[in-house]
Structure 1
Amino acid sequence: MTQNALPFDWPAGEEDEGFVVSPSNAAAVRHLNSHARWPVAASVLTGPRKSGRSLLGRIFVLRTGGTLIENGERVDETELFHAWNAAQETRRPLLITADHWPTDWVITLPDLRSRLMATPHVTLADPDDQLIGQLLQRLLERRGIVLPEDVVSYLVPRVPRNHVAIVRLADALDTAALSERRALTVPFARQVLGRLWETKSA
């Protein structure tokens, strides 16, 4: 499987690899690429655990010189209020990551609430088939393991559609392959899946 060569597909730092882009997250990437056209110099990025929102935020800061505030719903409201205002004054974009959209936050400062309600919100969706395959390959490649294409094709439709499940499966495949000294084949992958989620795979 090949990765989409969109502008954010480049290393974020010495220890980070590029953000893998697929249809499930491409809209968020396009939004961050168009920060000069945002109605205000801030945006909120949400996404599930392990979806890569922190990596995407770091890449955004490196590319734009902007500011990243993570877990915005847990940040002091006054700090967030001043950061939002500073972004408008300096025109250095502010990206706030969070678990949920600001409509679900407990916000006591009316002025902060009104500003966040005027701030664009984008989200990283649950992984699609393309992203599942690419992430499985990448996670195992980092451990020196090549995942054959036929195994990828077998696993993709059988993995739960969430990023945590992808990481769990990669960990399980790595651990089993090392402990049992077996190659990653479709029959072996079927056994690992069965142990993880008691999947009855054909």
Structure 2
Amino acid sequence: MSQLRLPLQRPEGARRDEFIVGEANASVVHHLEHWGTWPVMAALLVGPRKSGRSLIARLFAQRADGRMIDDAHRVAETDIFHAWNMAQADRKPLLIIADHAPPEWNIRLPDLRSRLAATPVLRIDEPDDALFVDLLRYQFDRRELFAGDEVIAWILKRVDRTYLSLMRVVDALDDAAHEAERGRISIPLARPALQARGLLVQGAGELRREEA
């Protein structure tokens, strides 16, 4: 088997976890769908936290009858070494998830270091604007919140465009909407909620002019 079709795009109205594809992760999806072409039956998946790396690894392991090792930097190196060897022996793909690839991830076991040197590295980047917006809408949908285009555009201009920042923004707005007993996110609701948690990155002067 050389290809694996992953159901990654979110169906309308979905509430379960889905992996949203964009420019920042498209190459990862491509490599996972063509795992039969890997030079070895293992790959190292690296990327920012909250980027969906564990989710796509679970989907991949389920559909390819493979294995995954999450937070590999916290796992005993001998365990990773044996899992890598087993993947070659039984021809079942292994996906190793870490914050960074070597040498940033300091591997002490020489045998593991040599094997990871021969292992493809798949990288998820921080989201571009288009993916950030798709993820923002998806998270709002999951929490049954509504934000119009003008609110989405307002948020996009004023927060760090990282996966971690996105989740913090959604948590803050979810809490604010719950407290206000409403499901619609507005700019007057969003501004103080995000400012209170230090999530707005504009200069203070510009924020004060907006509030005037």
TM range (shorter): 0.7 to 0.9
TM-score (norm 1): 0.87
Verify: 1:66 aligned to 2:66, yes or no.
yes
How big is the shift at 1:189? 2.7
Deviations 1:163-190 (A, max 9, x none): 1111111111111122234542234333
Matched, 1:186 2:187: yes
Alpha-carbon contact 1:44-1:121 (below 8 Å) kept = yes
Q: Deviations over 1:8-51 (max 9, x none)?
A: 4168xxx8422011111111111111111111110000111111
Question: What is the rounded CA distance, in whole Å, between the counterparts of 1:28 and 1:161 in structure 2?
Answer: 20
Judge which range, 130-139 or 57-66, deviates more: 130-139
Considering only aligned residues, what root-mean-square deviation do their CA atoms show, in Å? 2.1
Q: What is the aligned partner in structure 1 of residue 130 from structure 2?
A: 130
Q: For 2:149 and 2:160, how far apart are their aligned partners in 1?
A: 19
8 Å CA contact 1:46–1:124 kept in 2: the answer is yes
Contact 2:54 2:97 in 1 (8 A): yes
Q: Which residue of structure 2 lines up, in the alignment, with residue 3 of structure 1? A: none
Aligned AA (1:58): R
Query: Quick check: 2:6–2:59 contact (8 Å CA) kept in 1?
Result: no
Rounded Cα–Cα distance in structure 2 between residues aligned with 1:56 and 1:16: 13
| C-alpha distance in 2 between matches for 1:114 and 1:127 | 31
- Is 2:38 aligned against 1:35? no
Q: Which runs of 5+ in 2 are unaligned?
A: none
Match of 2:44 in 1: 44
Q: Which residue of 1 aligns with 2:139?
A: 139
Contact conserved, 1:47 with 1:123, CA < 8 A, in 2?
yes
Query: What secondary structure sits across from 1:155 in the alignment?
Result: helix
* Alignment length (residue pairs): 194
1:9 aligns with 2:8: yes
TM-score (norm 2): 0.83
